[in-house]
Chain A
Amino acid sequence: MKTTKVTDAGQVQIPVSIRDELDFDPGGTVHVHVEDGRAVIRRIGDWESMAGTVDVPPGLANRSLQDLREAGKRLWAAEAVGARLFGPTPGQGGVR
């Protein structure tokens, strides 16, 4: 267990061993939030390394970017209108 003090400005120093383990680089940005009464610090992903990393399901592999946009909007609209008129459908809107 590592301990660290909180300064008047609310700053804390993350021990080197933890920074190394989690790839917290100097100047990098982290996300801080509360989860079950604990402060959770998470490194924000590097946009540069995300290029080309998102998979398209096989059934949509030949669709253009415009087709993907239109499909998303249709699904979203149908769900949003349906949920407001008829209530949520099973599995809709839940945290997956």
Chain B
Amino acid sequence: MSRKLFLDTDVILGYLIGRPTDQAAHAGALFEAARNGSVSLFVSDTVLVETAVVLWRTLGMERREVAHHLEALLEAPGVDTYDKEAFGRALDFFEEYPVDLADAVLSSYAIAEGAAIASLDPVLDRIPGVIREGRWPD
């Protein structure tokens, strides 16, 4: 069984940006190790969301491109996350609706559970399937 490593945001960013060159090389070697099965890489929702924030907000990447990069990461050999199907749906929401990825993940998990979201943010109402409860008690 291969050793499991949790990925941090800077490894993903260094790999995609290609600099600093030494860190990018380390990141590349890590993904290569995952590809050949000597390690397994786990990427948490928080790291995926932070990566999306940097790509989208700091570097100005289009939503669609952000979603496609994270989608490719999650399909890379030896890379896993908590729930690929739910996170994939969150990426679809992020690409299509005016929500940030954190809200998209929240929405996707709530839909998967068949649960409502307790939230004061009406933007969530735009995501199909989301049931939002903004007043308590009803």
- Residues of A at the B interface (CB closer than 8 Å) are 29, 31, 33, 44-48, 50-57, 60, 64-66, 68-69, 71-73, 75-76, 79-80, 84, 88, 93-96
Given A76-B53, A93-B100, do A65 and B14 touch, yes or no (CB 8 Å)? Answer: yes
Knowing A71-B58, A95-B98, the reply to whether A84 touches B120 (Cβ < 8 A) is: yes
**In the complex, are the beta carbons of B58 and A52 less than 8 A apart?**
no
Q: Which of B15, B59, B88 contacts A68 (CB 8 A)?
A: B59
- State A76–B92 Cα separation when bound (angstroms): 20
Question: Is the CB of B110 closer than 8 A to any CB of chain A?
Answer: no
Chain A residue at smallest Cβ distance from B15: A51
B71 near A72 (CB under 8 angstroms)?
no
When distances are taken between beta carbons in the complex, the residues of chain B under 8 Å from A84 are 120-121
Size of B's binding interface in residues, CB under 8 A: 47
Judging by beta carbons under 8 Å apart, are A66 and B57 in contact?
Answer: no
Q: Report if B125 contacts A (CB, 8 A).
A: no
Prevailing SS type, chain B contact patch: helix
Question: A44-B71, A50-B72, A65-B10 given as contacts; is B17 within 8 A of A80 (CB)?
Answer: no
Closest to A78 in B: B57
Beyond A45-B71, A68-B54, A69-B10, is A93–B59 a contact (Cβ under 8 Å)? Answer: no
Nearest 6 pairs of A and B residues by beta carbon: A52-B18, A47-B76, A72-B54, A45-B72, A72-B58, A54-B16
Residue numbers in A under 8 Å from B79 (CB-CB): 47
In contact, A96 and B62 (Cβ under 8 angstroms): yes
Q: Min CB distance, B112 to chain A, in Å?
A: 17
Inter-subunit contact B98/A94 (CB<8 Å)? yes
Q: A75 touching B57 by the CB < 8 A rule?
A: yes
In the complex, A84→B120 CA distance in Å? 8
Partner of B71 from A31, A60, A93 at Cβ < 8 Å: A31
Given known A72-B50, A95-B98, contact A57–B60 (CB-CB < 8 A): yes
